[in-house]
């Protein structure tokens, strides 16, 4: 059995002509076209024609040049203004070459002289106009698609350029902070040497004076302890960066780690002329942690509070026990943290503006060490400040062991 081919689609044609006789003549021509694949409609005025073209109601439009007080060229130009994409054939009088040329320039797909019009020429012109319209539609679709692709590519390139710019700025900032850190490191490691050197000189000169020797010895001991602390901080951050730091965890009571931290921080808080308040939740909890490293976290946070708080201020440590976590907050009444520096407080080599720093001691890595140690305990460390002059709060969140 031979497969039946699908019938050709009907081509809808609209004649825009103010002369009813021209409509009848044109209708007769369409009746002679082979295949009867055309459906002809008719409107007799400029406004109706423009509305139909704008709406895209037909596949092709036959437009007479004469439309009462208006003409087909005006209608073509008006159609261009509204970005109509219709396939339009202008019907002109014999020998009107200037009008024909202007019609093509105004967007007509073709032009036909009415006196020479016959079915074959009409069918050929319609077929050519439709092919041209389909070609233009396909081309426009490809241009639109390519334009969209180029827009996406341009957006991607702009985004990548912005990301590279941000990355470059971050690298420059990191280099700046590292250079600043090296300067601070040299300063901090060199500071204890002068008192040690002076103490040694005094001990040589006053070796027969026990009290003087004893005071000199204590000076050396204090400075050595300070240097050891600096070196320990450097070693800690080096181990953490190389993933070499290991925790020795065990079930411990939170209060035990806090007690160790208070004992370690109390001298610095006292030397800074500050008051220390401890407000612990009456419900002590057991957590799995490295006792000394957790104490180091709280010590670093309290020492940081002491560092940025003027004499007479207060450092407050509070604990609050929840269902799944315990929250430890260290709050101070110090200089606070500027909003523009808040994103960097836990990054290496970062210190608050040193002109605001009362003591100007430390390497700026204590908070970074604390932040990473808390993360190693499956917890979180957060910072908050309402700005300069409003103090700062550092909050540690740790999971609770529940059987």
Instruction: Enumerate the β-bridge partners of residue 60.
Output: 13, 87
- Residue 6 three-state SS: coil
Percent of the chain with pLDDT over 70: 90
Percent of the chain with pLDDT over 90: 30
Q: CATH code for 246-399?
A: 3.30.565.10
Query: Which of 96-105, 268-277, 356-365, 378-387 is the least confident region?
Result: 356-365
Report the alpha-carbon distance of residue 299 to residue 394 in Å, rounded.
12
Indicate where the chain has its CATH 3.40.50.2300 domain(s): 11-139
What DSSP string runs through 123-151? HHHHHHHHHHHHHHHHHHHHHHHHHHHHH
Does pLDDT of 354 surpass 50? no
CATH class entry, domain 168-240: mainly alpha
Task: Report yes or no on whether pTM surpasses 0.75.
Answer: no
Indicate where the chain has its CATH 3.30.565.10 domain(s): 246-399
What pLDDT is attached to residue 362? Answer: 58
Does pLDDT of 100 surpass 90? no
Does pLDDT of 317 surpass 90? yes
Q: In the predicted model, what is the mean pLDDT of the chain?
A: 85
- With cut-offs at 50, 70 and 90, classify the pLDDT of residue 212: confident
Q: Decide: 109 and 88 in contact? Cβ < 8 Å.
A: yes
What does the pLDDT average to over 320-346? Answer: 91
What pLDDT is attached to residue 355? Answer: 43
- With cut-offs at 50, 70 and 90, classify the pLDDT of residue 290: very high
What pLDDT is attached to residue 379? Answer: 95
What pLDDT is attached to residue 222? Answer: 81
Does pLDDT of 177 surpass 80? no
> Per the CATH hierarchy, to which homologous superfamily does domain 11-139 belong?
Response regulator (3.40.50.2300)
More confident residue, 240 or 300: 300
- Residue 368 three-state SS: helix
More confident residue, 302 or 10: 302
Q: In what order do the strands lie in the sheet with 392-399?
A: 275-279, 314-321, 325-332, 392-399, 380-384
User: Could you report the per-residue pLDDT of 38-58, keeping only the tens digit for each?
Assistant: 888 999 888 898 898 888 888
Q: What share of the chain is helix, strand, coil (3-state, %, to 5)?
A: 55, 20, 30
Indicate where the chain has its CATH 1.10.287.130 domain(s): 168-240
| Count of Cβ atoms closer than 10 Å to residue 371 Cβ | 23
CA distances from 392 to 118, 156, 302, 395 (A): 92, 40, 11, 10
């Amino acid at each position: 059995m031979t497969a039946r081919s699908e019938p050709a689609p009907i081509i809808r044609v609209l004649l825009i002509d103010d002369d009813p006789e021209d409509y009848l003549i044109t209708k007769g021509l369409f009746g002679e076209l082979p295949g009867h694949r055309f459906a002809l409609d008719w409107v007799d005025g400029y406004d109706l024609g423009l509305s139909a073209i704008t709406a895209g109601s037909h596949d092709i439009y036959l437009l007479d040049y004469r439309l009462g007080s208006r003409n087909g060229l005006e209608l073509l130009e008006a159609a261009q203004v509204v970005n109509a994409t219709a396939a339009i054939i202008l019907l002109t009088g014999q020998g009107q070459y200037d009008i024909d040329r202007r019609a093509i320039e105004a967007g007509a797909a073709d032009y036909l002289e009415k006196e020479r019009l016959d079915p074959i020429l009409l069918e050929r012109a319609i077929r050519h106009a439709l092919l041209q319209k389909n070609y233009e539609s396909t081309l426009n679709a490809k241009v639109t698609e390519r334009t969209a692709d180029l827009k996406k590519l341009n957006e991607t390139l702009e985004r990548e350029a912005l990301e590279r710019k941000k990355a470059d700025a971050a690298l420059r900032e990191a280099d700046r902070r590292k250079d600043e850190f090296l300067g601070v490191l040299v300063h901090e490691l060199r500071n204890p040497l002068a008192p040690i050197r002076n103490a040694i000189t005094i001990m040589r000169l006053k070796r027969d004076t026990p009290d003087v020797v004893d005071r000199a010895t204590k000076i050396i001991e204090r400075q050595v302890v300070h240097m050891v602390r600096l070196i320990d901080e450097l070693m800690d951050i080096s181990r953490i960066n190389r993933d070499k730091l290991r925790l020795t965890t065990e079930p411990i009571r939170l209060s035990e780690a806090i007690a160790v931290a208070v004992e370690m921080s109390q001298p610095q808080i006292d030397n800074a002329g500050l008051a220390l308040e401890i407000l612990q939740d009456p419900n002590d909890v057991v957590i799995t942690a490295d006792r000394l490293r957790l104490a180091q976290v709280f010590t670093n946070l309290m020492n940081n509070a002491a560092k940025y708080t003027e004499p007479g201020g207060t450092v407050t440590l509070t604990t609050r026990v929840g269902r799944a976590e315990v929250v430890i907050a260290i709050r101070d009444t110090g200089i606070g943290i500027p909003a523009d520096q808040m994103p960097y407080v836990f990054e290496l080599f970062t210190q608050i503006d040193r002109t605001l720093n009362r003591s100007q001691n430390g390497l700026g890595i204590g908070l970074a060490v604390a932040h990473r140690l808390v993360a190693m305990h499956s917890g979180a460390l957060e910072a908050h400040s309402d700005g300069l002059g409003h103090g700062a709060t550092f909050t540690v969140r740790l999971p609770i062991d529940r059987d």
